[in-house]
């Protein structure tokens, strides 16, 4: 490999402004747009944009579904108008919340600390929200979030997990981008957050902080320089060089694991245990079940529009792998986990297949919500190979009713949680 396509112009600012304005024009309750990481972490030609929307506090279940389709239509229009943006447009915003959810402790999510805000229709409210978040002290929620992320990525690079799609000519640079920014940086970022007990927002910032802490490890400087050169180092793409790089990266993660062990409070004697043992222990450390339901719900709000975009995208946008990715997880994340948790909270009974108790939720849900939830369960349990778009279209048709059911049980659990905690605080 002797030549590379040059780095394209950085038009992320133009994209973010265009995208926000189009989405807001089609759904006026969108108040602000944020994105994960810092702007400097968006690598032209290789990065997608992990956008996040913040909306009015009066969002209803139907509002979320309407917004979902509005945003999905924007993705489809921009994909057709700006084919060079297919990588940036790869998915609709994953997390979408209201201002109240951004600042309430019940709905606090540590990833909020890693967002950069770009545009808003309400500067005062955004300043108040970000200021309140800034005053929040690091606690066990943050530690759990970052330890879980570190453990998720801990291990040798998986060569089969990060499919290079919608990259065009820049696919040749993806072997390094994937290893460095997708699979090595996240655990480094979380490790530094755990060690310093404060969230690191930026990806490059994480490498810089790691370099300051471990100046004898040249890898962080080397990787920053490589990213600045848009990965244009031909010799590093040889298989032997990639294996060597993967070995260096895993070695660093082992070093970081030793450092992390001195800063953990979720369990004792971390330094006397192996990292695989940490994984087992963390599985037993459950977050409050009430909060866990919202953890899943906030990711579900724009799934209808995401699937709509994928099934209608032009031929030059590779959507099949993306549909498969969603069908692999939304049944578990949006139905099995939250509905099982809801049933256990209400009855004390643990179940593995909540479809069998849907009929017993008639005093909480309407018949249409129950029917749609059952169909969602069935559709997401099908063998989708060769039928990806067909199944996705069927999910779109019943998604409003399904999301209404998920939204409703989330609201019930939140109400119960707040009442319980209010009564406990009063009794104390």
Give CA 160 to chain center in angstroms: 20
Using pLDDT thresholds of 50, 70 and 90, give the confidence band for residue 2. Answer: low
pLDDT digits (tens, 9 = 90+) for 203-235: 999 999 999 999 998 999 999 999 999 999 999
Region 229-244 average pLDDT: 96
Give CA 36 to chain center in angstroms: 9
1 pLDDT above the threshold of 70: no
Give CA 86 to chain center in angstroms: 19
Residue 141 tokens read as 């929620």
Residue 208 tokens read as 């810089």
Half-sphere exposure of 93 (CA within 13 A, CB side): 28
26 pLDDT above the threshold of 60: yes
**30-36 and 51-55 beta bridge pairing:** antiparallel
User: How is the beta sheet containing 51-55 ordered, strand by strand?
Assistant: 96-98, 51-55, 30-36, 115-120
Half-sphere exposure of 353 (CA within 13 A, CB side): 7
pLDDT confidence of residue 420? 79
**Residue partners of 213: CB distance under 8 A and separation at least 6:** 192, 195
pLDDT digits (tens, 9 = 90+) for 97-129: 999 999 999 899 999 999 999 999 999 999 999
Using pLDDT thresholds of 50, 70 and 90, give the confidence band for residue 418. Answer: confident
Using pLDDT thresholds of 50, 70 and 90, give the confidence band for residue 426. Answer: very low
The phi, psi pair for 31, rounded to 5°, reads -105, -25
Give CA 223 to chain center in angstroms: 24
Region 81-85 average pLDDT: 97
Q: Note every long-range contact of 281-288, with CB atoms under 8 Å and residues 24 or more positions apart, other chains counting.
A: 282/144, 282/147, 282/148, 282/151, 285/144, 287/141, 287/144, 288/417
pLDDT confidence of residue 159? 83
pLDDT digits (tens, 9 = 90+) for 349-371: 999 999 999 999 999 999 999 99
pLDDT digits (tens, 9 = 90+) for 272-295: 999 999 999 998 887 777 778 888
419 or 372, which is more confident:
372
Region 389-400 average pLDDT: 98
423 pLDDT above the threshold of 60: no
Tell me the average pLDDT of the chain. Answer: 94
pLDDT digits (tens, 9 = 90+) for 157-194: 888 888 899 999 999 999 999 999 999 999 999 999 99
> Hey, is 201 helix, strand or coil?
coil
Using pLDDT thresholds of 50, 70 and 90, give the confidence band for residue 424. Answer: very low
pLDDT confidence of residue 290? 75
330 pLDDT above the threshold of 50: yes
pLDDT digits (tens, 9 = 90+) for 136-150: 999 999 999 999 999
Q: Which of 114, 228, 253, 251 is nearest to 176 (CA)?
A: 228
């Amino acid at each position: 490999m002797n030549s590379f396509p040059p780095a394209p112009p950085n038009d992320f600012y133009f994209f973010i402004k265009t995208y926000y304005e189009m989405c807001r024009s089609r759904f006026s309750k969108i108040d602000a747009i944020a994105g994960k990481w810092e702007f400097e972490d968006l690598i032209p030609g290789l990065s997608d944009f992990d956008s996040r929307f913040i909306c009015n506090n009066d969002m209803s279940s139907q509002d979320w579904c309407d917004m979902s389709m509005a945003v999905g239509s924007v993705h489809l229009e921009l994909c057709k108008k700006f084919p060079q943006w297919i990588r940036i447009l790869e998915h609709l915003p994953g997390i979408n919340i209201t201002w109240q959810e951004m600042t309430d402790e019940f709905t606090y999510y540590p990833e909020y600390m890693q967002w950069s805000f770009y545009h808003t229709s309400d500067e005062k409210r955004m300043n108040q929200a970000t200021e309140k978040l800034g005053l929040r002290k690091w606690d066990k929620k943050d530690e759990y979030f970052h330890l879980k992320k570190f453990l998720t990525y801990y291990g040798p690079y998986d060569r089969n997990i990060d499919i290079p799609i919608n990259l065009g000519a820049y696919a040749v640079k993806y072997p390094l981008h994937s290893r460095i920014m997708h699979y090595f940086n996240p655990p480094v970022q979380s490790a530094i957050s755990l060690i310093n007990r404060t969230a690191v927002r930026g990806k490059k910032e994480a490498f810089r902080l790691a370099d300051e802490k471990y100046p004898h490890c040249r890898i962080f400087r080397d990787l920053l320089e490589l990213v600045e050169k848009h990965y244009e180092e031909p010799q590093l793409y040889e298989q032997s060089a990639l294996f060597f790089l993967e070995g260096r990266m895993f070695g660093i993660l082992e070093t970081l694991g030793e450092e992390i062990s001195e800063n953990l409070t979720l369990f004792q004697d971390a330094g006397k245990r192996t990292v695989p043992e940490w994984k087992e222990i963390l599985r037993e450390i459950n977050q409050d079940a009430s909060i866990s339901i919202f953890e899943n719900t906030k990711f579900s709000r724009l799934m209808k529009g995401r699937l709509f975009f994928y099934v209608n995208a032009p031929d030059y946008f590779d959507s099949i792998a993306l549909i498969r990715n969603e069908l692999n997880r939304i049944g578990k994340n949006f139905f099995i986990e939250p509905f099982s948790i809801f049933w256990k909270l209400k009855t004390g009974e643990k179940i593995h297949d909540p479809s069998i108790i849907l009929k017993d939720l008639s005093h909480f849900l309407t018949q249409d919500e129950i029917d749609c939830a059952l169909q969602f369960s069935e559709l997401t349990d099908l063998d989708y190979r060769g039928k990806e778009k067909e199944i996705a279209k069927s999910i779109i048709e019943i998604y409003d009713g399904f999301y209404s059911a998920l939204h409703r049980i989330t609201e019930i659990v939140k109400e119960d949680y707040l009442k319980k905690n209010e009564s406990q605080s009063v009794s104390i």
